Amino acid sequence: MAAAQHANRIAEEGIAAQVEAARWQTYLGFSALGLSAIAGLAAVAAAVYARRAWRENRRSADVAERMLSGYERPFLLLEVVKSGVTFGDNSITYDVTKYRFRNLGRVPALITRRHFELGNSGEMPDPIDPDKEAGKPVVHGVAVGANDVSQEIETGRALPLFSALKPGRKVRSGGEDSRPSVYFHGFVEYRDLAGRGWITGFCFAQSDNEAGFQPLSLAARDAPDPYNFDRQIG
């Protein structure tokens, strides 16, 4: 009798052990499945993150390239060194006007074309359109180094030879009560060493003998300025 009870107890313990083993196997199976799912989700998340990071890096690279392209360029400004214009009571005396170009860019500029007009008027002169005005081609180009200035240029040599540019006296235009100004305006075309080109327009005005030529723009805010502009060309 005792032997039978002992045998039954051993059998029950064996069954319980098998049930416990099956239970742990089930737990391990679910755990493995959960870990696989988590690993799969992590892989998907990593792929999405990598894709997004690649896009952001590409976007940053494109922005940096555009900024660098715009920054690594020549940028010419015109500086009037000597006015050469003297206002009298009833006349204006024209002497030689001297000017130069200052390159604010980080790369050299090669001037290929320019055109300026100098004359007095009681109102703003008509804007000069670089597409319609041939200007003065510069055969071999005039180089202006990065962050440097060009040699001084005198009117009558580098500019079209208008009568207003010749030294001498010129009667004021307008009525007796009007006070005309002298306008010095035009454009310069230049390129960088890679062949990219720009056209920059200028406009200066002088109304007395003290201030000399001063930059002038009558364009409204946020409106295109037909006198002072900077355009990239092909």
* Of residues 126, 108, 107, the one with CA closest to residue 117: 126
Please report the pLDDT score of residue 51 as a whole number.
Answer: 73
User: Are 103 and 147 spatial neighbours (Cβ–Cβ below 8 Å)?
Assistant: yes
Please report the pLDDT score of residue 135 as a whole number.
Answer: 87
What pTM was computed for the model?
0.64
Domain boundaries, the chain: 1-71, 74-233
Please report the pLDDT score of residue 149 as a whole number.
Answer: 97
For the chain, state the CA radius of gyration: 40
pLDDT tens over the chain, length 234 residues: 555 555 556 555 555 655 565 565 655 555 555 556 565 665 655 665 667 756 766 665 554 454 445 568 999 999 999 999 999 888 899 999 999 999 999 999 999 999 999 989 888 899 999 999 988 888 778 899 999 999 999 885 444 434 344 445 454 554 555 668 999 999 999 999 999 999 999 999 999 999 899 999 876 677 889 999 999 997
Please report the pLDDT score of residue 160 as a whole number.
Answer: 40
- The runs of H, that is alpha helices, within the chain are 2-71
Please report the pLDDT score of residue 180 as a whole number.
Answer: 85
